[in-house]
Structure 1
């Protein structure tokens, strides 16, 4: 196309665009949007018209000048999308409104193109119009998504803060109702606090995934390396995860349940139980943890005469023997040794220490010593 033809094409394009009544297009599009899209029903049509006019005007300017939007101009369209997100308009209705507005604008553009006897120029203008709409709609979508993400993050941070304050007892009483509503909790319900930590074979994300389906609210704290949840009952047995469950308490007293849940979780981890421990469930195990000096004395009493691999073998033997209620055959099967081998080890223990697992007091002494070694990570 020579320069004269290009100049004529630009002139015809300018005539078509100048003939457009943006006020009428914006008013017609606003009325349709408010009438047909539920998310806009409560919006004022005049305000929507003004906002659509502010969108249409630069589109026509881009087409008249034959250029694309600058980064700053695209940012303005992104801000429009963010504004709709702030108004609570979802992405789908926003795109539908953009489509309806584009359709109204194109219909008006098409009528003006028909009045100009230049099919090629009209075709190019229609192509440029839709290309411009595609690029600008992408900017609108990006702005909307970014603002929605910001709002979601802010809302999550707010929920996290409320739940943390509930658990620590730092939430003022007058905010309990607000916190309950925000977190989806019931003020009349008492909740158990569940406490769990990641371990060698489980990340904090894995712990969170395991607990989330069974909790009414969940708080994952990578900084303190723990996950805390609220439940209305015990965890299902299929949740094979070391954890602690505190007693049921009202929202105003969750701190009490948290303290018990932490202690129970400590028990579950220390004794490699692989399940959720409820408050008051293992008083003897709790005594082992609470009285380490006593445990160390009993370890010396029971296993001080051995060391190294021999000691490890003896500890495992005693543990299996007590777990089998001093049934040598069952204990031997659990250890994959011959029953006579197991009996020999027990007789050797009795000869060296004077302790007989068949006597209740001696069995408790041995059990306590084994548990102390387990809790201290020295059980072999």
Structure 2
């Protein structure tokens, strides 16, 4: 018979493994999204980010004494309120995620040979924490909901879902004219990456002053407006003004553009016209992989010098193929830039004076490098 301390050590090891397992966040996120279509509409990366933070906070609280830390749960609830996620959908997602965590813990506990009574005691503690976490999420949601105010917000959501998603509603709640949106007029379509409730409120008010209608649609603050504000507290993309019947297509384009540039660290208000190249190229990920393999196959993502070469060449193309501007942007001596470009040419065959089509191909390959192929993943995760 094993000493009880051995079982406790095994349980502690199991929790450490669960906390470190990045696949668990993917698994729980999938379970939450399957539980409700409203959750499934939300951007995957946002949902996964919160799930990962909640899991880390949960395991940390479970393995230490004292008051648990619910800061991430509070943030999660407040942001879901700002994005207009119905509380019923929120609870469904939280329940599904909590159940999946318990299922995984039971399965791995059995595989580790942890006795039933030890595992049951741990699971009861874990579930009690899950219940407390759920309450904090809901409380934070309700508080943020009150702070955001309900001044016709539900009606704005109904109107925009009708116009942007094509969800037809024949009632006065979803009447666009109620908010000044008329069939014969043209409006800019906007979609924002904002998640902070206070920033979301400021953005809604800024667009309201411009005569626009902004509200959460499918997890993103979105809307239509006849005029644009001077700026935005978060990354926000917009289209030129379009007729109302083109709003669904304009909305889809805004979403595509936002996804293609959201990792670039941009903030403020940007037109889809200015981001057209990134948006078009992002729509062809397989072609980007082919370009990276064909043009940059001699480079290794594990080699820091190769990474410096790629960053320098990309900055060179971004700054009009000017050595002086590239050097200033990278805080390097022009000779260093020249040397790196020469070494990249020796390794990859980068042309001295690429044509416009060649420039586009090389810029795209450099920007997409390293290519995410199965071979790359297998090689660099081994």
Q: Normalising to structure 1: TM-score of the pair?
A: 0.50
| Greater relative CO, 1 or 2 (CA 8 Å, sep 6+) | 2
Which structure is larger by alpha-carbon Rg, 1 or 2?
Answer: 1
Q: Normalising to structure 2: TM-score of the pair?
A: 0.50
